[in-house]
Amino acid sequence: MLLVSLLAFAALQSNQPDAVTELFVRTTPSTRIESLASAVAPFGRIDCRARMSHDYLVQLKPCVDRESAKRALDRVPGAKVLSPGEEPVDFRSLPSMERKLRHLRQDGQEPDGKAESGADYLESYYWFCRKRAKADGTMDWRYLGDGRVHAMAMPAMHIRQPADGSPLPLASQSWRFVGPTNLTAIDPNAAYFGLGAANGRVNTVAFDPKVSSTIYAGAAHGGLWKSVDSGTTWTWLSHLNVPFLVTHFSVNASAAPQIVATCGSSVVNAGIHIDPFMITEMALNPSSVQGGATSAGSVTLNAKPGDKLGAITVALSSDNPAVTVPATVSVTPHTSTAAFLASSSVVSTQATATLTATLGSSSKSTQLTVTAAGLANFTITPSTVKVSSGSPVTGTVTLGSPAPAGGALIVLSSSLPPLATVPLSVTIPQGQTTANFAVSYASTTTIQANVTITAGYAGQQLTATLTLKP
């Protein structure tokens, strides 16, 4: 009796469809997903993770008749159940590629075709992705970049002493293994194994011809690296999804490393253009000041430095001591312009200073004109006097800014020396703005006379009138 029951059960199972079957349903924009879901409910469920555009993967319940489910789904407006040969393949999903391979083999396309749509290409790509897929069988190439960041953050592993006790090569120089530390001969993508059967190597090193602390290194499978602190820290420059092999490069004066990248028997010549920071503009406002005043200056670069690079230091200089500028100015991250002040000294004659900003091999210059302090005012007090009174008369000259070193020599003259006389000159002391002088006049006169007194300085003249009455 038991034997008969087992045979009956086996016969029943042999007449049932596969335990789990799948259907791909292609819809149109007008298809109501609610209608599709209602049609699917008696037979299985929609696997939303496998959705591609308007195609849906339907997972059928065990022992569900595939043809019955197909007829029910075909009745949904705008929906069509795809045949195995029509089913799309999602190259980001291992299950999708497995289904396609299964159908290709069922159609007799064993892995011997050459077309990319054939089983040969798909199986090769499937095995390539299998080592790189996430746990749920999906592909996300961003994980490669995340893995590289993780590898770079791994603690460095010191080289171990050989088991036989022999000394380490160059042990006295304290060599330290810094990576890569996640390479093995078996599976380079599986896990962190430390110092394994395979390691990265540096193929070529070049020094910046103008900045001795800047070093470039080309790795066998790690791309191009750069250090700006004589090799203490390194920045990866090969920002690609897959690192490439660097066998040789050189650094020219424009800081553009020339790369020859190889992979197998292929050789590709390319240039990684690392544009240096350069000064594009130097400006002053105003471009002319009176001695003792300041001018607002600015320096502009061709790009904005980032946080990792930090501030860019620009050197400043002046070729004339009449104008002084700070020794340096810093362009902070995320900005391209830095401001500074140009200070002028008081001068006796007009002066011109050339200001220069320098960064590496680039420089920009501009000029600042410094004018001498001019006469601001000239008065005679009192301006009218009776010659018989003998009252003192005083002249006052005033500069627009403090007198320069050595003082300001003001030249004086009278239009009628017999009636009113003045000194040949008067000096305004250094740092002062005014000076007084005495005006002498005749003790007698028969008529009223107007005498013009003139004060001159740095090519400028002012006049005042003294009226003498009988």
Query: Are 367 and 387 contained in the same domain?
Result: no
In a domain, 191, yes or no: no
pTM of the model: 0.38
111, 130, 149 - which closes a domain: 130
CATH code: domain of residue 393: 2.60.40.2310
In a domain, 265, yes or no: yes
Domain that holds residue 213: 200-271
Higher pLDDT, 235 or 446: 446
pLDDT of residue 174: 53
242, 271, 300 - which closes a domain: 271
Query: Are 231 and 248 contained in the same domain?
Result: yes
Query: Are 367 and 379 contained in the same domain?
Result: no
In a domain, 417, yes or no: yes
Q: Are 345 and 291 in contact (CB under 8 A)?
A: yes
In a domain, 325, yes or no: yes
Closest CA to 404 of 327, 457, 348, 336: 348
Chain segment 297-321, per-residue pLDDT in tens: 999 998 888 776 778 899 999 999 9
Query: Are 449 and 359 contained in the same domain?
Result: no
371, 388, 421 - which closes a domain: 371
d(CA 345, CA 350) in angstroms, rounded, equals 11
- The kind and range of the H/E element at 192 are none
Q: Where on the phi/psi map is residue 400: left (φ > 0), alpha (ψ -120 to 50), or beta?
A: alpha
Q: Is 63's pLDDT higher than 50? A: yes
Chain segment 92-126, per-residue pLDDT in tens: 778 878 877 877 776 655 444 444 446 777 777 78
Residues 6 or more apart in contact with residue 59 via CB below 8 angstroms: 20, 22, 44, 45, 46, 47
DSSP 262-304: EETTEEEEEE---PPP-EEEEEEESSEEETT-EEEEEEEESS-
pLDDT of residue 123: 79
Query: Are 231 and 326 contained in the same domain?
Result: no
Query: Are 386 and 443 contained in the same domain?
Result: yes
Structurally, the chain folds into a number of domains equal to: 4
In a domain, 418, yes or no: yes
Query: Are 289 and 266 contained in the same domain?
Result: no
Q: Are 76 and 37 in contact (CB under 8 A)?
A: no
Query: Edge-to-edge, what's the strand order for the sheet holding 434-441?
Result: 375-381, 393-399, 434-441, 420-421
In a domain, 1, yes or no: no
Count other Cβ atoms within 10 Å, centred on residue 364: 18
Query: Are 266 and 290 contained in the same domain?
Result: no
Chain segment 209-243, per-residue pLDDT in tens: 667 778 877 776 666 777 888 777 777 665 444 44
Query: Are 119 and 45 contained in the same domain?
Result: yes
Query: Are 409 and 464 contained in the same domain?
Result: yes
In a domain, 65, yes or no: yes
Distance of CA 202 to the CA centre of its chain: 27
User: Buried (b) or exposed (e) across 429-442, using 16+ Cβ within 10 A?
Assistant: eeeebebebebebe
Query: Are 447 and 462 contained in the same domain?
Result: yes
Chain segment 144-179, per-residue pLDDT in tens: 667 767 766 665 544 455 566 555 554 444 555 555
CATH code: domain of residue 60: 3.30.70
